[in-house]
Amino acid sequence: MYQLTIGHLYPDLLNLYGDRGNIAALTNRLLWRGMDAKVVSFELQDDIDFSKLDIVFLGGGSDREQQLVCNRLLEQKDAFTAYVEDGGVTLAVCGGYQLLGRYYQLKEETIPGLSILDITTEAGEGRLIGNVVLSTSLDGRAFQVAGFENHGGRTHIGDHLPFGKVAAGFGNNGEDGTEGVLYKNTIGTYLHGPLLPKNPEVADFLLSRALERKYGARVVLPLLDDTLELEAKGYIVDRFASKA
Ligand code: GLN
């Protein structure tokens, strides 16, 4: 039986806006297909053996929580970097996304990041808040993504590929029309919400890549009835962006 192990990093510190719903979506989409899911939650004092994980999830947090997490992750930076470089699947939301970058510059201090992604974040005037619609393409399949953002940081992604193009909302910085980053099998994004329950295509992208990495061949994911999920998303897309 196919089984994936999902590492949930610091759910007690990084869990804004129900980000843990992403774990429920990943788990259920495996179970509904007769596959197995194991979730391992890590607290700050725990050592993380990335070699035992198939998917890593980091949610969003306040600046203070982000700082705590960052200090701890810097001690495990080499193992986390090696995991991402090896195609380990990672979903990092908002504060979790920012800390994969080089730094998060606040007014009075700079939180050093893991430099896994070559991106930088600076706190700007005011927060970028609201519903977001993106156009994206994963594994050659183009679709729209709906979500919600609330961040003070403005992120610049340099030469990285974005996760999507902003059709409604602010995205990485409110200026260049990009949202998030897609690097190997890692998605960094500002989209809370949570993201995966109403964007099943993204959930299945992460699951396929994780299964492929673990089992060495493309595992065909049986189709699920996503009528409800896609209706929920369609409602947001119709409300905030015209369909591209
Ligand atoms: N503290 C970060 C910011 O405001 C991230 C916040 C979040 O995760 N929502 O930019």
For 44, counting Cβ atoms within 10 Å of its Cβ (0-12 exposed, 13-18 middle, 19+ buried), the class is middle
How far apart CA 43 and CA 176 sit, in angstroms, is 36
The amino acid at residue 3 is Q
Residue 219 pLDDT: 86
Among 91, 94, 105, name the best residue to mutate to test ligand 1's pocket (greatest count of ligand atoms within 8 A of Cβ).
Answer: 94
How many angstroms is it from 63 CA to the middle of ligand 1?
A: 6
pLDDT exceeds 80 at position 243: no
Q: Choose the catalytic residue: 8, 151, 160, 192.
A: 192
How far apart CA 18 and CA 201 sit, in angstroms, is 19
The amino acid at residue 198 is K
Chain-wide mean pLDDT for the chain? 95
Q: Choose the catalytic residue: 70, 94, 151, 160.
A: 94
Q: Nearest Cα to 115, choosing from 89, 78, 152?
A: 78
Mean pLDDT of 85-114: 96
Residue-range domain boundaries for the chain: 3-243
pLDDT exceeds 70 at position 244: no
How far apart CA 155 and CA 190 sit, in angstroms, is 10
pLDDT tier, 242 (very low <50, low <70, confident <90, very high otherwise): low
Q: Is the pTM of this model over 0.85?
A: yes
H-only helix segments in the chain: 21-31, 63-74, 77-85, 95-98, 200-215, 227-240
Tokens of residue 211, six digits: 């299964």
pLDDT tens for each residue of 38-55: 999 999 999 999 999 999
pLDDT tens for each residue of 186-210: 999 999 878 999 999 999 999 999 9
3-243 maps to which CATH number?
A: 3.40.50.880
Helix (H, G, I), strand (E, B) or coil at 1: coil
Residue 59 pLDDT: 93
